[in-house]
Chain A
Amino acid sequence: MLKCRTVWRTLAPLARTSSTVCRQNARRAGLNNGRLPACVPAAHMSTAPAGGGRENQLYVLLVGATCVGGAIYAYRTVKGDSQRYQDRIDEISSRPLKTFTEEPATPTQSEPPGERINQRILGIMSLLPFHCRTIFEQNHTDEPVIEASPEEAAEPPVVEPDASPASHKVSSHTPYLLIGGGTASFAAARSIRARDPGARVLIVTDELVPPYMRPPLSKELWFSDDPSVTETLRFKQWNGKERSIYFQPPSFYINAEELGSAENGGVAVLTGKKVVHMDVRGNKIKLDDDTEISYDKCLIATGGVPRNLQVIERAGEEVMKRTTLFRKVEDFKSLDKVSRNVKSITIIGGGFLGSELACALGRRSTESDLEVIQMYPEKGNMGKVLPEYLSNWTTEKVKKEGVKIISEALVKSVVSKDDKLEIQLKDGRLVKTDHIVAAVGLEPNVDLAKSAGLEVDSDFGGFRVNAELQARSNIWVAGDAACFYDIRLGRRRVEHHDHAVVSGRLAGENMTGANKPYWHQSMFWSDLGPDVGYEAIGIVDSSLPTVGVFAKATAKDTPKAATEESGTGIRSESETEHTASSPVASSAPSPTGVQHKDEYGKGVIFYLRDKVVVGIILWNVFNRMPIARKIIKDGEEHADLNEVAKLFNIHDD
């Protein structure tokens, strides 16, 4: 370009001189021709005098040369521009991406036309609704969104998330994602692996340990003779076989980082991470350390959090310090420690957990001088589950375990005084104790409902799912947090171990395409001391009318005897692998065949709803659960329940 200019400049004077020469020639020609009459017109440039022909030619040549030169210049400029534009685009696209929300850099003076077009597109895009922009971003992820002029000296900063090293390595996608590391989650993992060969399953849990079973925390672990049980978390069953509360030892699981590359897939557990956000549209979740993990199928098995009494929550730090909400392994460890160091423990709550802990601690009280008090609003233990006569009978048994029972007790206030806790009841009674265990129910964990846009049930709590445990496409819920539709018994939410196993297994099956509804009815059990043990199935609500058929109890009809006889493992495994009975430690031999009219030794109790059996308790009668399950599944109206009771052979062993 400069060359052209210099050429033009040099040519210019020549051009000028040539033009003046031409003009002078013309004038001279005109003057020469002046003697001629004036009618001769002024010389036309075109008709140059004969003498100026050569100059004319030179002039034409020069003009032509200029035109050609100009054309060449124009062509080269345009070519150079487009080349420069291309170069600039290439250079920018090789730079790392920046986010959409960055401010545009100030444009410099020399902007190739392409850049201007790009910015115009972006300007239009900012007017689009958000989701259109995301589509654009997704389709054009290799194009720069905002660019600074390359002429600027400084490179624009590259934005990268400030993440911990671990999250970099964890695969950002997993085919199967299980939120929650409890029983339901583990059962689902097992089910998925069994049905989908080579499946990769990622379990994300906010606990620091791999999945474990909960029932031993309030039962078997307390009866262990091993002083290091809080560390090993192992317990000996009555047949001598020992096992850990952990479903599988750590070698069963593979590392989360290796999940993507494992040849035959596997189950990985990411501990200590909480899922804080769920993006259902994008099929991904976000952890509390900002890691994002996308999934194909997701299970929510977040379980629940123990409820607390409002009076305790409002009572202040000193009271809260001396209160245990029992659910996890740490709670077991801390309560075990507390029970060895204090003189008095009060359990508030008369349901399963409260009664089991009361019996377990009551057992301890015989060895130490620990006072164990249990208080609840009902008239007797398991007042919301067992019919009144049975609840009363059970309460007497619990008392025999060394527990001080305060029934019909409503807590008004709790204060900390002189290093002790004073519980004031509404009827005026005052209870002084060192430590409180609150076992007043479970609040299902539905934290993710808001971000995920999932329905929460207002009657039972928990995520509302259909009969196949599905909340939405690709999302299932199982365990304590699932409010599901039971085809036989209606919508319900169940907080038992076997239900977690059954629903977790079913969710795993449905995540691998089975499309089966909840049909196999889960069961539950409880042992309150060596004399009282029962298995139950279905809806067992004491407000329903019941029919109980009892036989006289003999020494053989205790949980301990049943286990020893069948030589099988703990009931925690039973319905999952093999029907069995539970071990309950017994130091005293059970009474031999006391023929009391009010002795509810063993029998069957039917719970009725509109004359149909919806729930059954097998009272000190074991290994008959399949029959009970069948009766509930049938859903028939039976005229005489005594005849139905015959099916159980309660008099046999």
Chain B
Amino acid sequence: MASAETKREERRRKILQNSEDRMRKLLGQTGKDTEKALNIPPESELSLNKSKTTITSDSEQNDINQALKSSINNTAADVLSESKKDSTIFNSPSFKDEIDKTVVKDKKTLGTGIEHPVTQKTDQLNKDDIQRMLDVMRLGLVVLLAVVVRWILSFGFGIIFLQSMFVPFIITEIVFYAFHHMNNQEIILRPKGSLLSGALVLCGIKPELIATYNQIMGYMNAIVEDFATYLFAFLICNIFMGREVK
């Protein structure tokens, strides 16, 4: 009976200890603040709290108090020693990143584990802004390139040894989308229609495969749009620069 109670008490202590350790990690507290943060009551209080525990014998109470105190001291000592020995670990960027991620995640979840809808909406708005900025940048780049290429071709010069308007376009697209793929992977380019992907989902195709398909179609759609815009800008420039072969 007593051993079951001690085990219960030990388990309770461990659970509390874990939650306190997590809080300390989040708040970045070291060993000196440990005892304050833990709000450890003095020994007399612990021994007097008989009504809160089911332990009856004094010796067992003392044992538990000793065990508690020693484990807490050990933890504090461990933290202190770790902080002294491996202060670089706590100062390392990867550790800080991890804490930042945990703090950010906890902020988002507000400690409930469920992501707050307001933060989800904010993330979506930010992604939409980035998507829009990307669209405008693509458009600007393509139009500027068309104007420059048309101007160079009007002098009879070629670009990369060829008098072709599409070679600079192909190179620019490869560079742009390679950069986008490496750095902005979370920003998925919009595919034209979702009917086919919806049909594929119903046919039981794997979601990862459909995501890859959507990504590829997004890129293809973007490239075709850029091609059309480039050709349009080139021909409109041609109208103003006035060159026609009869």
Report whether chain A binds chain B.
no
Interface residues of A (CB under 8 A from B): none
